[in-house]
Structure 1
Amino acid sequence: MEKNKYKLIGDYHTHTIYSRNGHGKGTIRENVEEAIKKGLEEIYITDHGPGHFLFGIKRKKLPEIRRTIDALNEEYNGKIKIYLGVEANVVDYNGKYDLRNEDLKYFDVVNLGYHSGVVLKNLKSYFIYHILNSLGRFNKKLEKYCIEKNTDAIIKIIEEKDITIITHPGDKVKVDIKRLAKVCKENNTLLEINNHHPHLSVDEIKEAIPSGVNFSLGSDAHKPEKVGIVDQAIKRVEKAGLDINRIKNLKEVK
């Protein structure tokens, strides 16, 4: 990757101390100031959804976080735009996530992904996620079944809810990238190329390209100094031959 060949417009996946138990290391202000330092125009604050029993955001903190971001948007008006988001979790193979309707008034954007450490809503979902997906590594037929179920669940949420970005698709459990990409295209949902995790991989990006879906880059920063760092993601973009114009938060420097 040539230095300064690209400009990251915004970082659409960052965590703060509101991702509990030390999972996120910095304050919202620290992430924002790091983003300004690196010349970003936008930043999403996307702490883990409340369904993650270790790292999930506490619902009672949402008003406080909203006030903090509103105040910082006033303070840094003209320098950067700050969005309150969340990295919601799939919690049910019937197509449910860990947000309530009353939560949504606080968020500007909703990202969605699969995560271990999430409290699944029923025994069937627990069995598919934890047991069958693990066993599927040793049985192709079972793996195919799991991929179908994993994909069905996340697609149902996309079709029923307003989802901005699917985070690191294929990272925690395998999904049908081609089918997921098609549905994301139809619903104006972005597929993330995550810098912290190896997904989307080069091969997965290539699988998604024919659908016409658009993409985003995310640092998945858990420390302020990692905000805006997407060099590994860009390497995968280049290897896959993805048109930069299809990445919503990246532009080529002329």
Structure 2
Amino acid sequence: MKFDLHTHHSRCGHARGQIRDYVEAALRGGLQVIGISDHSPYFGEKSDHAQPRIAMAKSEFPRYVEEVLALKEEYRGRIEVLLGVESDFFPEHVGAYRAIYDKYPFDYIIGSVHQSGGVSIFNKRRFRGLSEQEKIREKEQYYDLILQSAKSGMFQILGHIDAMKGFYPAFSDIRTEAVEKTLRIIGEAGMAIEVNTSGKTKDVGGWYPSDEILEMALRYGVSVTFGSDAHDPERVGDDRELVARRLKEIGYKEWVYFSAKKRIAVPL
């Protein structure tokens, strides 16, 4: 069973192609399951389209769901199209996000931290000039948000859990017990983390998360899933076979995907 649970399209303002393009790319790539998971609107903002280059408008959200559900029916019997969303996590707005998500029949929701301390995790300047202790505090603040997202009960999957290394590869070398603590909580919550291959498009040049984190996650019984985080149809399923091989080398026996929020295990 070949699947990819993390894809985007033009609504978010920084991806190429329409949803149908990603479904067709998945078919060409021999996938049996394709998850559509564009960036959620900023539901903590009053304006309809607070971040036009980052996330879709609130007014587009119902149309997004409607389109995915229509494609799910159209492609039934050829490929399973899953309704997902990649949700930002803001502790102060959990109630607002939860109330909106509860209205729709999502197969899964990916919880991703994209801002920490009010700054994008991909901001190349955020570590500039910081002392080692300040860098540790930055990393611990980031992982505290991931930990809170795991405890929130809103998500089935946590997205790219070390993506702060994207434009700062030395992030992985900042030592703190916060990473292990967070993985323990994720395991206790029964959630999955994704192996996200979009890191290869960033300065770090590799997948999220690191092998070290995957090995630690295995010790804490954390399930894994796969997501290309494709922002271009050509990247659907990117490096899926390589990821499967590496997971087996680490010691994983299976990975999972979600349909109607039910976990489905697939042998590696």
TM-score category by the smaller chain?
A: 0.7 to 0.9
Match of 2:209 in 1: 200
Question: What pairs up with 1:41-56 in 2 under 5 angstroms?
Answer: 41-51=32-42, 53=51, 54-56=53-55
Q: Is the 8 A contact 2:40 2:61 kept in 1?
A: no
> How has the CA–CA distance of structure 1 residues 112 and 81 changed in structure 2, closer, same or farther, with 3 Å as cutoff?
same
CA distance in 1, matches of 2:33, 2:5: 8
Match of 1:102 in 2: 100
Query: What is the CA-CA distance between 1:156 and the residue it aligns to?
Result: 1.8
CA distance in 2, matches of 1:79, 1:88: 28
Question: What pairs up with 1:52-201 in 2 under 5 angstroms?
Answer: 53=51, 54-92=53-91, 96=94, 99=97, 101-106=99-104, 107-115=106-114, 125-126=117-118, 134-135=126-127, 138-172=130-164, 176-197=178-199, 198-201=207-210
Match of 2:243 in 1: 233
Equivalent position amino acid for 1:48 in 2: H
TM-score normalised by L of structure 1 = 0.78
CA distance in 2, matches of 1:134, 1:171: 14
> How has the CA–CA distance of structure 1 residues 200 and 236 changed in structure 2, closer, same or farther, with 3 Å as cutoff?
farther
CA distance in 1, matches of 2:253, 2:219: 15
CA distance in 1, matches of 2:67, 2:218: 38
Q: Is the 8 A contact 2:26 2:237 kept in 1?
A: yes
- Note the residue ranges of structure 2 that are not aligned, 5 or more in a row: 43-49, 166-170, 200-206, 258-265
- Note the residue ranges of structure 1 that are not aligned, 5 or more in a row: 1-7
Match of 1:3 in 2: none
Aligned residues: 232
Q: Is the 8 A contact 1:95 1:152 kept in 2?
A: no
Query: What is the CA-CA distance between 1:59 and the residue it aligns to?
Result: 1.5
> How has the CA–CA distance of structure 1 residues 170 and 83 changed in structure 2, closer, same or farther, with 3 Å as cutoff?
same
Match of 1:110, SS state, is strand
Match of 1:56, SS state, is coil
Question: What's the Cα RMSD here?
Answer: 3.0
Query: What is the CA-CA distance between 1:182 and the residue it aligns to?
Result: 1.6
CA distance in 2, matches of 1:11, 1:95: 28
Question: More deviation in 46-55 or 221-230?
Answer: 46-55
Match of 1:199, SS state, is coil
Match of 2:163, SS state, is coil
TM-score normalised by L of structure 2 = 0.74
Q: 2:222 aligns with which of 188, 203, 213?
A: 213
Q: 1:16 aligns with which of 6, 9, 12?
A: 9
Match of 2:24 in 1: 33
Q: Is the 8 A contact 1:13 1:220 kept in 2?
A: yes
Match of 2:37, SS state, is strand
Name the structure, 1 or 2, with higher relative contact order (CA <8 Å, separation 6+).
Answer: 1
Match of 2:252 in 1: 243
CA distance in 2, matches of 1:230, 1:243: 17
Query: What is the CA-CA distance between 1:34 and the residue it aligns to?
Result: 1.6
> How has the CA–CA distance of structure 1 residues 137 and 194 changed in structure 2, closer, same or farther, with 3 Å as cutoff?
farther
